[in-house]
Amino acid sequence: MTRRVHLDANIILRFLRNDDPQQSRTAAELFKQAEKKELQLLVSPVTIMEVFYVLARAYGMPRPEVARILQTLIGSGLALCEDGGIALDALRRITSNKTSFGDAYLMAAAAQANEEIVTFDQGILASKDVRLYPLNSISKSSKK
């Protein structure tokens, strides 16, 4: 059985940024072990969100670029996100600098479950592929 290990955001960041000689080399070795099937690297959606945030905010990278990088990493199969593909779909949904990972994840989760979203967020409301719970029905029922 392949050993499974959960990645912290700092491992992914050192791997992607290659900005610390020792830590980046160690992180790269983990990914090489995964490529050889010696390890299975697991990453949670929360960790993906943390990496997304750090790259976009601390490093000033455009959100769509960060999404593409993380999409490539998760899509490569080297790091598995055990959420049924929701995080990968969320990363695909980030097409502008206004879309946050959190909103994209919400839209992806609702889409996968074929369920509605209730929100005031204009970005989500403008999305064409989400089902929205009609807020006007709440307003009407509260007047009774």
Q: Is residue 144, in this structure, part of any structural domain at all?
A: no
Residues linked to residue 4 through DSSP beta bridges, in sequence order: 40
Residues linked to residue 144 through DSSP beta bridges, in sequence order: none
Could you report the per-residue pLDDT of 78-95, keeping only the tens digit for each? 999 989 999 999 999 998
Q: Is residue 55, in this structure, part of any structural domain at all?
A: yes
- Consecutive H or E run containing 41: strand 39-42
Q: Is residue 141, in this structure, part of any structural domain at all?
A: no
Q: Whole-angstrom Cα distance, residue 129 to residue 139?
A: 24
Q: Is residue 29, in this structure, part of any structural domain at all?
A: yes
Containing domain of residue 101, as a range?
Answer: 3-114
- pLDDT at position 144, please? 56
CATH number assigned to the domain comprising residue 25:
3.40.50
Q: Is residue 120, in this structure, part of any structural domain at all?
A: no
Specify the number of domains making up the chain. 1
Global pTM reads: 0.88
Q: For helices 101-113 and 45-53, what crossing angle results, to 10°?
A: 150
Q: Is residue 128, in this structure, part of any structural domain at all?
A: no
Could you report the per-residue pLDDT of 3-62, keeping only the tens digit for each? 999 999 999 999 999 999 999 999 999 999 999 999 999 999 999 999 999 999 999 999
- pLDDT at position 143, please? 58
- pLDDT at position 137, please? 76
Using alpha carbons only, give the angle 55, 127, 71 rounded to the nearest 5 degrees.
35
